[in-house]
């Protein structure tokens, strides 16, 4: 019997994933939780073959959740299941230790494939993400066709998304529990990496690269 832990704060998502898992050929026991503290509690209680993790989970801290999971159960396969823009987040989470990244926009068949792949102890990523990783490996700074957003760290992406919503630096610092000087540094790095000078230019560059705001 395969043990699977589903962590998502939306009941319809938990229900849908449980139904999809139930349709797989291998029998599975599914446990669902909706806050990150309960993820850790469940991992302390027993081993799971697979954790399906929403990265926007109450009580979690984005990419640091992977470290917390690995400390408890280093052998549990982790499938990040997120509504966040795959172009912006997938590579960072896979690099940080996730075994797979799946968009919540994925079809039922793709979701089944991702789950089965991880249960087989293999890595899963969509074709666009696989290509993005290959592009990143062969990154050439002199190539104007390279997506500059791929150079941003996860934290820089978080700050960028808040900036595009018109949120002041002080408020961003409060939301992310950072010093305002740190947020200002992130903003400077973002502008430098993207070669822009204003939020208007940032929004335009995001549009040009088809990055969701």
The CATH code that applies to domain 2-133 is: 3.40.50.2300
Query: Strand, coil or helix: what is 103?
Result: strand
Across 91-106, b (16+ Cβ under 10 Å) vs e yields bbbbebebbbbbbeee
Domain 139-208: state its class.
mainly alpha
For the chain, domain boundaries = 2-133, 139-208
What is the per-residue pLDDT for 127? Answer: 87
One pLDDT digit (tens) per residue for the chain, 213 residues = 899 999 999 999 999 999 999 999 889 999 999 999 999 999 999 999 999 999 888 988 667 889 899 999 999 999 999 988 888 788 878 888 899 999 999 999 999 999 999 999 999 999 888 888 777 666 545 555 557 888 899 999 999 999 999 999 999 999 999 999 999 999 999 999 888 889 998 988 887 677 876
What is the per-residue pLDDT for 211? Answer: 82
Of 198, 171, 176, 203, which is closest to residue 187 (Cα–Cα)? Answer: 198
């Amino acid at each position: 019997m395969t043990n699977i832990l589903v962590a998502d704060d939306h009941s319809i998502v938990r229900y849908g994933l449980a139904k999809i898992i139930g349709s797989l050929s291998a029998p599975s026991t599914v446990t669902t939780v909706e806050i990150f503290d309960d993820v850790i509690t469940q991992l302390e209680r027993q081993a799971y073959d697979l954790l399906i993790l929403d990265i926007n989970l109450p009580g979690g801290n984005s990419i640091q959740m992977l470290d917390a999971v690995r400390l408890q159960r280093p052998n549990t396969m982790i499938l990040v299941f997120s509504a966040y823009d795959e172009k912006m987040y997938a590579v960072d989470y896979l690099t940080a230790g996730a075994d797979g990244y799946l968009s919540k926009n994925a079809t039922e068949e793709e979701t089944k494939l991702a789950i089965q792949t991880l249960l087989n102890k293999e890595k899963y990523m969509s074709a666009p993400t696989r290509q993005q990783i290959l592009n990143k490996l062969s990154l050439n700074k002199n190539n104007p066709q390279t997506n500059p957003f791929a150079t941003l760290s996860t934290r820089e992406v978080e700050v960028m998304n808040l900036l595009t919503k018109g949120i002041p630096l002080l408020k961003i610092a409060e939301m992310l529990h950072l010093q305002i000087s740190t947020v200002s540094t992130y903003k400077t790095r973002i502008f430098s990496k993207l070669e822009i000078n204003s939020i208007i230019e940032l929004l335009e560059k995001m549009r040009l690269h088809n990055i969701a705001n």
